[in-house]
Amino acid sequence: MKTYALVIAQSAKDDLERLHSFAADIDPDMAEGTLKTIKSAFEILTRHPHTCRKVQSADLSNCALRELVIRFGNTGYLALFEIVAEEFVLVLAVRHQRESDYR
């Protein structure tokens, strides 16, 4: 089975920090669970990134962009990523499902 290297862009790291800070203001234990759930979900990208949904955009020339849906409680998170040259997966952004768009 092919394994992809996982790279998390600085923009996605910033998103994770933002999401953690927001959750920590509500419940510190939930904040830690949030990060643990998201990072655990990233593991699917190392083996099965093609199972995630393609991003719908006006420019369909970049069909390597996909979203990983991460369930957490009644809602969850979305991770935007790109499969790069069949060698690695680059996580570009992470957002809560109720946010309007990636930052």
Quote the pLDDT of residue 36.
93
Does some domain include residue 103?
no
Strand-pair category, 65-72 with 75-84: antiparallel
Residue 101 lies in a domain: no
List, in sequence order, every beta strand (DSSP E) within the chain.
5-8, 53-54, 65-72, 75-84, 88-96
**Residue 26 covered by a domain:** yes
Place 2 in a pLDDT band, splitting at 50, 70 and 90: confident
CATH number, domain at 37? 3.30.2310.20
pTM: 0.86
Q: Give the structural domain span for 39.
A: 5-95
Q: Number of folded domains in the chain?
A: 1
Return the SS3 of 17.
helix
* Predicted pLDDT at 72: 86
Specify if 72 maps to a domain. Answer: yes
Is 100 part of a structural domain of the chain? Answer: no
Mean pLDDT of the chain: 88
Judge whether 102 lies within some domain: no
- Domain assignment present for residue 28? The answer is yes
Phi, psi angles (nearest 5°) of residue 75: -125, -130
Residue 12 confidence (pLDDT): 97
3-class SS shares of the chain: helix, strand, coil, % to 5: 40, 30, 30
